[in-house]
Amino acid sequence: MPRPRSLTQDRIAAAALAVIDRDGLAALSMRAVSTELGVSTMALYRYVDDRRELEGLVVELVLGGVDVSPPSEGAWQERIAVLVGRMRDHVGAHPEAVPLTMIHRHGSAGVLRWSEAVLAILAEAGLDGPERVIALRGLLSYVIGAVQLEHLGPLSGEGTAAMAGLSPAEFPHLAETAGHARLVGADEEFRGGLAMVLRGIRAGAGPFRSRGGRG
């Protein structure tokens, strides 16, 4: 029997993302999405097999709109920073869905296209073999981790204030650093951290080759 045409994958993905944004990732289920759509759970099964397929649709909805066209001008670090910033904007708009971007990164067309664009710039910069692998993994780890920290443990949150109030005698560096952290905005934190990662990639490439790491 052919599937009814009342639902589309885009509509299902949007409903699943609405459930995640409102109720959290743990709330995602076939039943919850069918309720969001106003259809029976059995009707939803005509379109998707299980929760895992729902997750994949959500990842494509979140990341499918990321502009992966590499900037044509600027140093390679600047061009990669633009691509990483675009990824942050899309992922950060739906922080509850962040874990799905890692779980489904190998099957996500959006993540694959973004990774290809980043790798092309790294190749132009002269990185190859294992060093290019490590650079891409480092950038992915940074953007995903930074988005999670920004939303789950922001510097403007209560945790930073609590650390700033620690005993200077027992935690001198932590207390002082937390005091400074309260003055750092989310954008400044993200850009500053990314700049450090990119400097590390540039500095680490040469020594990696000298140790025979080029593949």
Residue 118 pLDDT > 70, yes or no? yes
Return the number of other C-beta atoms located less than 10 Å from residue 84's C-beta: 22
Buried b (16+ CB within 10 A) or exposed e, 169-204: eeeeeebeebeebeeeeeeebbeeebeebbeebbeb
The model's pTM is: 0.83
User: Which of 86, 79, 65, 78 is closest to 10 using CA atoms?
Assistant: 65
Percent of the chain past pLDDT 90, that is, above it, reads 68
CATH of the structural domain 9-63, one choice from 1.10.540.10, 1.10.10.60, 1.20.1260.10, 3.30.1360.200: 1.10.10.60
Q: What's at 207, amino acid-wise?
A: P
Residue 10 pLDDT > 90, yes or no? yes
Across the range 52-79, mean pLDDT stands at 92
Calculated CA dihedral for residues 149, 151, 153, 155, nearest 10 degrees: 90
Residue 156 is predicted with a pLDDT of: 85
Across the range 57-71, mean pLDDT stands at 91
Taking every pair of Cα atoms in the chain, the longest distance, rounded to a whole number of angstroms, is 73
Q: What's the pLDDT band for 207 if we cut at 50, 70, 90?
A: low
pLDDT, tens digit, for every residue of 124-182? Answer: 999 989 999 999 999 999 998 999 888 888 888 888 999 999 999 999 999 999 999 98
Residue 131 is predicted with a pLDDT of: 93
pLDDT, tens digit, for every residue of 18-35? Answer: 999 999 999 999 999 999
As a whole number of angstroms, the distance between CA 79 and CA 188 comes to 18
Q: Is 144 in contact with 86 (CB distance < 8 Å)?
A: no
Q: What's the pLDDT band for 206 if we cut at 50, 70, 90?
A: low
Residue 187 is predicted with a pLDDT of: 93
DSSP 47: T
